[in-house]
Amino acid sequence: MSKTWFITGASTGFGRSLTEKLLARGDRVAATSRNARALDGLIERYGDRLWVAALDVRDPQAVRKTLARAFAELGRIDTIVSNAGYGVLGAAEETTDTQLRDIVETNLIGSIVLIRSALPYLREQGGGRVLQVSSEGGQIAYPGFSLYHATKWGIEGFVETLAKELVTFGIRFTLVEPGPARTDFGRSLVYPEPIAAYDATPAHQTRDALLSGDWVIAGDPERMTDAMIAVADQPDPPLRLVLGGTSYHAVRDALSARLDELEAQRETAFSTDYPEEELV
């Protein structure tokens, strides 16, 4: 049985791969992108199974209008894929207010507005799926990616809360956490003006490794999008989907270190409660 999907950021990267694969297997796709013309070739091939709209997720009104039109014209939409996003690579001190505002409006606020706007439709139709493309960077942190991590940690908290709020309505959520993959992500990075004082520090070492090409990227975006489609088809999907060996090891190490740190503070944590005899 074919399904209908709504995907943001569908002209490149994971969004493009998902769109092509879903159409090839017979599904319908509502694909949005700031550069909608990049999807013209797919329209010629798949006709009315591909619904396309130009959309900048930084515009909340446009997000709501586009979703409303998609549901009105397509009827039921089974899966929402919140995929639009990008990164800023530089020390936090190097970043500008404009860069901060733009990435938060795209990666965090844009994703929140999209999901919030979809909820009434998903509730009314009796359920649905939401795939939020996050990152290993929603659970770990690389030096130089502070603004990016702020948006990904933020959207993870939002989606994890919604997973608890909406389970009664048959709406299921999955946070997709790919590690580095051979997509257009690196080419779309924004680089702030560097400050010389950060040369040879961790923030610039991350930047230099990426720019030099020495950072070997093992993640296959095609295999990753296969896994995204498979998890959306599952009757009981996980809240988080970690993709890539790099992501698995990085997230596992980060969680282990945080748990060790937590356990070391057990005595301090309990010492700050009221004693039992004072709990009246």
pTM reported for the whole predicted model: 0.94
- Which of these is catalytic: 33, 134, 135, 247? 134
Alpha helices in 53-104 (DSSP H): 60-74, 97-103
146 is catalytic: no
Sign of CA dihedral 225, 240, 183, 257: negative
Domain spans in the chain, listed from the N-terminal domain onward:
4-267
- Which of these is catalytic: 46, 142, 148, 198? 148
**Across the 280 residues of the chain, what is the mean pLDDT of every consecutive 10-residue run?**
94 94 97 92 93 96 98 97 95 98 98 98 97 96 96 98 97 94 81 96 91 80 96 96 95 98 98 91
142 is catalytic: no
pLDDT for 209 equals 87
| Residue 210 backbone class (left: φ over 0; alpha: ψ -120 to 50; beta: rest) | alpha
Torsion of CA 162, 165, 167, 172, to 10 degrees: -10
- Which of these is catalytic: 33, 152, 198, 247? 152
DSSP 23-40: HHTT-EEEEEETTGGGGH
The matching CATH number, chosen from 3.50.50.60, 3.90.550.10, 3.40.50.720, 3.40.50.970, for 4-267 is 3.40.50.720
121 is catalytic: no
